[in-house]
Amino acid sequence: MKDKHRTTRIGSHELSPRSLMMGYGYDPRLSEGSLKPPIFLTSTFVFDSAADGKRFFEGITGLRPGGAEGLVYGRFNGPDQEILEDRLALWEGAEEAAVFSTGMSAITTALMAHVRAGDAIVHSGPLYAATEKLIDAVFGRYDVTYENFAASAPLDEVRALLERTREDRRIGAIYLESPANPTNELVDIEGIARIRDDLYGDDPERPLIMVDNTFLGPVYQQPTRNGADLSIYSLTKYIGGHSDLVAGGVVGSNDALLPIMTLRNTIGTITDPHTSWMLLRSLETVALRMEKAESNARKVCEFLRGHPKVERVGYLGFLDPDSEQGRIYARHCSGAGSTFSLILKGGEAESFRFLDALQLVKLAVSLGGTESLASHPAAMTHLSVPAERKRWLGIGDNLVRISIGIEDSDDLIADFEQALQAV
């Protein structure tokens, strides 16, 4: 019965993360029997002995492998953060997870830990706008260059790009985002992992494959099971799920995460105890919320697809199973999620009339919350993207981005129907 809170099976029966989210990694005996973990509001932790303090610091600073052995100081770790990390890793069956103050601080810390001055980052495009800016404007100042390929580019193109880049510079990271925002194109993570392994074998300089899994994870896609070394999350979106916090996470192997944890200890990009506690509560319902949102989105997209004012719906659930994208979907994804693009007949004026007429659905950027949101990428999130790149990315003035929540699906359809009438 020792460590009952860390068992992941009953006899030979393997427990699902859905069951483990309620108790895994927390021992009530250490907190007066409290069923739920308290929020540990403290900046520092007391050592039993000076020798313990020394041992803990050896782990924190990376002098000894294996990471932190005990709690030390609020910039390094804390009980709420550690329980959250243990539970987050379970969804991908991964060894380790690290949590961060925002999705962007997770991405920044992961890239900084693995990329050196003089390297190139090879990435799929488009990426979340702030990630593109980070790689271009911030890493660019430290002599890090980048090469990018379209998310749906054929694999021989990706291979050629990796080979060409490698002749010039060390590749510091292969950074992918799938599905891409706002085009919903899928990247062949397995295919790219095979190419990387083929090119590098067990060369210690082999670049890690990092995948931003915010749109479908952790329920509908688990990139570390498809050959990625690291799966990165904006926990602000589906995992937080209530549009009331910002946070980030990185999931993967101990080896890939150790330099990231060590850098996080130095620069302090960890999330706080209160946000961690909120995320523990969110993780208990993430599967329920994502499943309801995905079935709602399916119904809404079926309605929108047939509407005379709609040109097209960019929704993963409508991929032709015989297409290349459809085959990637079948190998990587177990559901279509609830974020999609609605392409209206017309331009900005029609899109704005549609957005202004919505009543139940709120006009806001972000996604993955319990409430449905709609926005206009060309005029909002992607406003600063040059016109030519917008065209290349397929971000037109008639594209509306929609994230479906957990409302009643008939109510959502009624709202979209009246808003389309107003166009």
Ligand X SMILES: *Cc1c(COP(=O)(O)O)cnc(C)c1O
Q: Is 184 in the site for ligand X (CB under 6 A)?
A: no
Residue closer to ligand X (CB basis): 23 or 240: 240
Place of tokens 């910039």: 75
Q: Closest separation between CB of residue 109 and ligand X, Å?
A: 12
Q: Is 212 in the site for ligand X (CB under 6 A)?
A: yes
- The secondary structure element, H or E, covering residue 351 is helix 348-357
Q: Is 104 in the site for ligand X (CB under 6 A)?
A: yes
Query: Which residues are marked as active site?
Result: 75, 128, 212, 237
| Strands of 85-199, DSSP E | 96-100, 120-125, 145-150, 171-177
Which residue among 178, 236, 341, 372 contacts ligand X (CB under 6 A)? 236
Place of tokens 């891409």: 180
Q: Is 223 in the site for ligand X (CB under 6 A)?
A: no
The residues, ordered by sequence, that sit 6+ positions from 34 with a Cβ below 8 Å of its Cβ are: 28
The residues, ordered by sequence, that sit 6+ positions from 232 with a Cβ below 8 Å of its Cβ are: 103, 106, 107, 110, 210, 211, 212, 213, 214, 248, 249, 250, 251
Q: Is 125 in the site for ligand X (CB under 6 A)?
A: no
- The secondary structure element, H or E, covering residue 342 is strand 339-344
Torsion region of 184: left, alpha or beta (phi above 0 gives left; psi -120 to 50 gives alpha): left
Which residue among 246, 333, 358, 402 contacts ligand X (CB under 6 A)? 246
Q: Closest separation between CB of residue 99 and ligand X, Å?
A: 11
Q: Which of residues 152-181 bind ligand X (CB under 6 A)?
A: 177, 181
Q: Is 214 in the site for ligand X (CB under 6 A)?
A: yes
Q: Closest separation between CB of residue 214 and ligand X, Å?
A: 4
Using Cβ positions, the residue closest to ligand X within the complex turns out to be: 103
Among residues 287, 290, 313, 285, the alpha carbon closest in space to that of 300 is found at 313
Q: Encoding tokens for residue 139?
A: 């890493």
Which residue among 248, 252, 337, 405 contacts ligand X (CB under 6 A)? 248
| Strands of 165-207, DSSP E | 171-177
Q: Closest separation between CB of residue 177 and ligand X, Å?
A: 6
Q: Is 103 in the site for ligand X (CB under 6 A)?
A: yes
Which residue among 40, 128, 303, 340 contacts ligand X (CB under 6 A)? 128
Residue closer to ligand X (CB basis): 148 or 234: 234
Contact residues toward ligand X (CB under 6 A) are: 102-104, 128, 177, 181, 212, 214, 234, 236-237, 246, 248
